[in-house]
Chains A and B, each alone.
Chain A
Amino acid sequence: MDELPALERASGPSPRPLLESLYERMLLIRRFEERVLSFFSEGSLYGTTHACIGQEAVSVGLFSHLGPQDVVFSNHRCHGHYLLHQDDPEGLLAELMGRATGPCAGRGGSQHLHRGNFFSNGVQGGIVPNALGLAMAGGLLEKPGIAVVFLGDGTLGEGQVYESFNLASLWRLPVLFVVENNFWAQSTSSKVQLAGEIADRPRAFGIPTEVIASHDVLLTCERSGPVVQAVRRGEGPRALVFHTFRLCSHSRSDDARPESCIAPWRSHDPLLLASKELDPAWLEAAESRVDERLARAEQSALAAPFAEEPVLPPIPLPRSSPEVWSGERVVQVLNRALRGLLEEDPRVLLLGEDLVDPYGGAFKVTRGLSGDFPGRVLATPLSEAALTGVASGLALRGMRPILEIMFGDFLTLCVDQLVNYVSKFRGMYDGRASCPLVLRTPMGGRRGYGPTHSQTLDRLLMGVPDLRLVAPSVLHDPGALLREAVDDEAPVLFLENKLMYTRPVRCADPEGYLGPWRARRTAGPYPTVTLSLVDFSTSKVTLATYGGMVEIAMEAAETLLIEHEVACEVVVPSWLNPPRFQALEDSLSRCRGRLVTVEEGIGVAGWGAEVISSCCERGLLRGAAGRVAAPCAVIPTALPLESGVLPDSAGVVQEVLRQIG
């Protein structure tokens, strides 16, 4: 038999009514989880679940100090937390059964719940910065309540947890970190997963941390109260580490732990401990109350329909923002737009590394803003992953955060949040939440910054549901695009380009000319600009491009016309994914289906590949199409080598000539 850790019991006589109410809540969770597990063993439920049998005393004790105004972010093992916060076994059962009457209409299921101020997500780690964002938004929007986030001992292996400890402590956020240490992560003992002491972790960041080792619900209740109150009083973040134990398998039926380590805990079953203090008649009555409620919940869930549409309707487009042509450089236009947004919209907040003055951001986009908007332009630690999580939490709760990632290359650190959090919330919460953050970042090479500061990684995030990829160019008003992105209910990845910052924005005159180019633009937000050096309808090839490649494509089009008498249209969308077809279709019909795509990033499975295959599917192409992109290679630092891998206008000319034979 394994030895138990030292467990505490409340001293003195137990206050009966309190114990009864705590017990009945534990009982509801216990019977709920048991029912769910038996459905699974009968084969009448689809998917999986993570029950919290044995751990009830932790959450029931803690939740007696929390109310609906408090925001809770939970993890995979979230049923108990949900039931306590939302008192909604009916909804939860319907959700597990996949029914339209569940809080997320069966889209989220067991691990992805949202109702009121309750959220959960089944990926470990990232919910911690999300909770920070929620807490921060609560403060900024002057909402009552604190944020509570649950994490298991195994989740202490995730980096975002520590980035979040640091941020929460630095910014004194009203967050309570609750570690439910059940000594196991799935099938692995914490002995082989965790070095050092758990409580030392938050403490290292200056977060006062209390350890509660007990399955006595009166004790967990008593001891967690003052900690919650401290956070409520605005004393900054706190951590609570509970020692507890899971008496069921990790998920449906996958317990690999030896019985010898489970057995000693059976006598510390929190329900057993509490029931010893309670009157058997009362206990019986409580059983039947719980049973009745769950039986009713089961009936109504079974009678409920499934949601009709597997896919939610697309997020509506933002309002179109008028374009303003000042002839300024892109960096100035962006700076002015950010200033305007900060002035007009109290929900706007800028976050990122080195944003504040006098530095003003690595590319000077935020220069002059921190002084004029104190507290709303935040220079952050180097924590891209958690910052994306924080921004996402802010957005979930009604803020309009604009996060700057210093180099697009570092987007890799944000991908967890972008893919499994930011872009998931709406879909998995049945459209009942939105995450309207804007993540700005500069991509691109030609500055000699070498392999890790020159990439164009846009394609890594193509085709992420709900995530919009917007790329300004010198032909768009980047300020108008940024306003549209901020107004957008969808999360927007705003892909800037390093070389573009110093380029002036080029606008067409009232006659539709831009230098020698005739220009057209689509109406509405995120417009597409089409340029032609000859009358529209006399061009031979459509060059589709975006962002920093626009001027290269334009240069190529000039060469093609002047030297080779080949007229091209240059089609420049500002919204990259999914491709929009209006302008492209028009251009291709004029150019008789001859298409060459031009992008700076690697071509394999890239933007051009997507555009070409989509056009092909729609029958818009005449035959072969051309693709100009970087080869699948590391970008070297030295100038001649770098130039050798990044696509240039000569490459575009060559490809067009090859296409037209």
Chain B
Amino acid sequence: MIELRVPREDVNDDTATVARWLVPAGAPVVAGQVVCELETTKTIFEVCAPAGGHLHPVAPEKAELSVGAVLARITDSPEPPALPETPIEASKQAGEVRATRQAQEFARAHGIDLAALAHRGILTLKEVQAAAGLRKPHWQTPPGVRRVLVLGAGVAAMQVLDILLHDREVLPVGCLDDDTSLHKVSLFGVPVLGGLDCLEELWRDGVFDAAIVGIGTNVPVRAAMYRRLRDLGIPLVNAIDPSARINRQALLGQGLVLCAFVHVGVAATLGDNCFLAAHSNIDHHCTLGRHVVMGPGCLLSGTVTVGDETLFGSGVIVQPGLEVGARCRVASGSVILRDIPAEHAVKMRPPTEVVMVKTGG
């Protein structure tokens, strides 16, 4: 079998149009016989059969073909060759559903039929997720229940979700995270809806009523997200584990995350957007600024003051009445015995000596 291809006639044309077939399909031809007329922007020219045989046109008249495309085949038989080969263009033709790679993967993973969703454009992940019920304001919440969006979808967000999912007054409806690898997952059944750039749009679309920041130790990011929510006028909720013990005289800000067994003592004050991990103790008359983040098991004695955006590792102990300034970072296990001015990192040297003083007997 010999293929007859579209020759390059002039430098200006990368395509040619089939003007006319001069022999019917399957007819015998001899080598050198003119079989077809092609037209370019410049001219009409003739194409000859390179060898004898039966001619089987592949392209119909008026078809526009690229230079090098198969125009016809010449075989030994008047029967058309059994080659179901379709032109390259056909793969994009009617019936084919086009979807983004992520949309296709999501559809496969969730058993969604893309053809049912098809429209004239390209199906996006968003659309497929929406169809799967993961997006947009489909959540029916009972009266009084607030739909909450969590910013972040990492380990801190999981702790936040864990609390929110036990709270009957709120319903976490989704998370946002710029890490695209998280976009397909759902956390405890709560979908990751996309990157943080979706925030405005989702808010505009009325997908949620309030939000909370689910970012832990990255304090600047935590603070920035809080400001962004504030700027957009989005209300913040508190995520307070039912096991937390909070004194009735304590003053609480907004956007707080208080994990299991946190204790907030008498008349203590917590500024907005603090994140206190499990077992933290904020004793009586302590004052925490905004965006203070503490690892598990921190122990603040009474009347301690902590400035904005200060980060404590786990198990930090602070003696009564001391002041830790803003934007400090205090390493795990530190025992604070003096005031720490703002913007300091604090680390304990390993204890080298055990001092014992006899106190009785």
Partner of B41, one of A364, A447, A533, A592: A364
CA distance A537 to B180 in the complex (A): 21
> Interface size (A, Cβ < 8 Å)?
31
Q: How far is the CA of A565 from the CA of B128 in the complex (A)?
A: 12
Known A-B contacts: A565-B100, A565-B125. Give 13 more (CB < 8 A).
A332-B41, A364-B42, A367-B42, A498-B12, A502-B13, A517-B121, A518-B121, A538-B126, A562-B122, A565-B101, A565-B103, A565-B180, A592-B197
Query: A302 to B336, alpha carbons, bound, how many Å?
Result: 88
Cα–Cα, bound, A23→B14 (Å): 71
Residues of B within 8 A of A567 (CB): 124
Q: Which of B98, B183, B200 has the most CB of A within 10 A?
A: B98
Given known pairs A364-B12, A502-B14, A516-B120, the reply for A565 and B41 (CB within 8 Å) is no
- Chain B residues closer than 8 Å to A363, beta-carbon distance: 12, 41
Contact with A along B193-208 (1 / 0, CB 8 A): 0000100110000000
- Measured between beta carbons, the chain A residues less than 8 angstroms from B126 are 538
Bitwise interface map of A from 533 to 549 toward B, beta carbon under 8 Å scored 1, else 0: 11001101000000000
What are the interface flags for B14-51 relative to A under an 8 Å C-beta threshold, 1 for contact and 0 otherwise? 11000000000000000000000000111000000000
Contact between chains at B124 and A561 (CB < 8 Å)? yes
**A516-B122 CB under 8 A given contacts A502-B41, A565-B180:** yes
Q: Of B11, B120, B122, which is within 8 A of A561 by CB?
A: B122
Contact with B along A550-576 (1 / 0, CB 8 A): 000000001001110101000000000
Q: Residues of A at under 8 Å CB distance from B? A: 329, 331-332, 360, 362-364, 367, 447, 498-499, 501-502, 504, 513, 515-518, 533-534, 537-538, 540, 558, 561-563, 565, 567, 592
Task: Report Cα–Cα, A522/B14, bound state, in Å.
Answer: 32
Which residues of A are found within 8 Å of B41, using beta-carbon distances? 329, 331-332, 363-364, 501-502
Contact A538 B100 (CB under 8 A): no
Q: What residues of chain B have their CB less than 8 Å away from a CB belonging to chain A?
A: 11-15, 40-42, 64, 98-103, 120-122, 124-126, 180, 183, 197, 200-201
Residues of A near B103 (CB, < 8 A) are 565
- Once A538-B201, A562-B101 are accepted as A-B contacts, the answer to whether A516 and B121 lie under 8 Å apart by CB is yes
Q: How many angstroms from the CA of A502 to the CA of B183 in the assembled complex?
A: 42
Q: CB within 8 A of A502: which of B15, B99, B124?
A: B15
**In whole angstroms, what is the CA distance A364 to B13 when docked?**
11
A623 to chain B, nearest CB (A): 13
Closest A residue to B121 by CB, please name it.
A516
Which B residues lie within 8 Å of A516 (CB)? 98, 120-122
**Is the CB–CB distance between B12 and A561 below 8 Å?**
no
Contact at A534–B120, with CB atoms within 8 Å? no
In the complex, what distance in Å separates the CA atom of A499 from the CA atom of B103?
A: 34
What B residues does A513 contact at CB under 8 A? 120-121
In the complex formed, the residue of A with least CB distance to B103 is A565
Task: Give Cα A498 to B14, complex, Å.
Answer: 11
Q: Contacts of B125 on A, CB cut-off 8 Å?
A: 565
Docked CA distance A517–B126 (Å) = 17
Distance (Å) between the CB of B237 and the closest chain A CB? 26
10 pairs of A and B residues whose beta carbons are closest in the complex? A516-B121, A331-B41, A562-B100, A364-B41, A565-B102, A364-B42, A513-B120, A533-B122, A516-B122, A565-B100
Q: Is there contact, CB below 8 Å, between A534 and B12?
A: no
- Asked whether A540 and B121 contact (CB < 8 A) given A364-B42, A502-B12, A502-B41, the answer is no
Q: How distant is the Cα of A571 from the Cα of B98 in the complex, in angstroms?
A: 23
Q: Enumerate chain A residues within 8 angstroms of B14, measured Cβ to Cβ.
A: 499, 502
Chain A residues within 8 Å of B102, by CB: 565
User: Once bound together, how far apart are the Cα atoms of A431 and B124, in whole Å?
Assistant: 54
Residues of B within 8 A of A534 (CB): 121-122, 124
* Residue among A367, A502, A517 with most chain B CB within 10 A: A502
Query: Chain B residues near A562 (CB, 8 Å)?
Result: 98-101, 122
* Minimum distance in angstroms from A419 CB to a CB of chain B: 30
Taken together as a complex, chains A and B put the C-alpha atoms of A540 and B178 apart, in Å, by 14
A557 closest partner in B (C-beta): B122
In the complex, the chain A residue whose C-beta lies closest to that of B127 is: A534
Q: Tell me, rounded to whole Å, the shortest Cβ–Cβ distance linking A261 to chain B.
A: 59
Residues of B within 8 A of A501 (CB): 12, 41
* In the bound complex, CA of A331 to CA of B126 (Å): 40
Expressed in whole angstroms, the Cα–Cα distance for A534 and B99 within the complex equals: 11
Shortest CB–CB separation between residue A516 and chain B, in angstroms? 4
Residue contact A533 to B12, C-beta cutoff 8 Å: no
How far is the CB of A237 from the nearest CB of chain B, in Å? 37
User: How far apart sit A534 and B121, CA to CA, in the bound complex (Å)?
Assistant: 7
Task: Report the minimum CB–CB distance from A29 to chain B (whole Å).
Answer: 57
Residue among A447, A515, A537 making CB contact with B11, cutoff 8 Å = A447
Residue of B nearest to A446 (CB): B14
Identify the interface centre among A447, A498, A516, A518: most chain B CB within 10 Å of its CB: A516
- Within the complex, the shortest CB–CB distance from A621 to chain B, in Å, comes to 15
Interchain nearest-CB distance for A515 vs B (Å): 8
B136 to chain A, nearest CB (A): 12
State in angstroms the CA–CA spacing of A499 and B14 once bound together: 9
Measured CB to CB, the nearest residue on chain A to B43 is A364
A540 vs B201: C-alpha distance in the bound complex, in angstroms?
Answer: 11
The distance in angstroms between the C-alpha atoms of A518 and B99, with both chains bound, is 16
Known: A517-B121, A534-B121, A558-B122. A540 touches B101 (CB 8 A): no
- Is the beta-carbon distance between A563 and B124 smaller than 8 angstroms? no
Contacts of B201 in A (CB 8 A): 537-538
Interface centre among B101, B103, B120, B125 (most CB of A within 10 A): B120
Pick 20 A–B contacts, CB within 8 A, sort by A: A331-B41, A362-B12, A501-B12, A502-B12, A502-B13, A502-B14, A502-B41, A517-B121, A518-B121, A533-B122, A538-B201, A561-B100, A561-B122, A562-B99, A563-B101, A565-B100, A565-B103, A565-B125, A565-B183, A592-B197
CB-CB < 8 A to A331: which residues of B?
41
Residues of chain A within 8 A (CB-CB) of B98 are 516, 562
Residue of B nearest to A360 (CB): B42
Interface centre among B99, B124, B183 (most CB of A within 10 A): B124
Smallest beta-carbon distance B144→chain A, Å:
32
Considering only CB atoms, which chain A residue lies closest to B120 in the complex? A513
In-complex Cβ contact of B121 among A364, A502, A533 (8 A): A533
Q: How far is the CA of A310 from the CA of B98 in the complex (A)?
A: 56
Return chain A residues, CB-CB under 8 Å to B15.
502
Q: CA–CA, A329 to B100, complex, Å? A: 30
- Bound-complex Cα distance A360 to B13 (A): 15
Q: Which residues of B contact A518 (CB under 8 A)?
A: 121
Q: For A329, what are the chain B residues with a Cβ–Cβ distance below 8 Å? A: 41
Q: Which residues of B contact A538 (CB under 8 A)?
A: 126, 201
Bound CA span A504–B41, Å: 12
User: A367 contacts which chain B residues (CB < 8 A)?
Assistant: 42
CB distance from A544 to the nearest CB of B (A): 20
Q: Which residues of B contact A517 (CB under 8 A)?
A: 121
Min CB distance A129 to B, Å, is 30
In the complex, chain B residues whose CB is within 8 Å of the CB of A540: 197
Complex alpha-carbon distance, A364 and B11, angstroms: 12
Q: Determine if B120 and A565 form an interchain contact, defined as CB atoms under 8 angstroms apart.
A: no
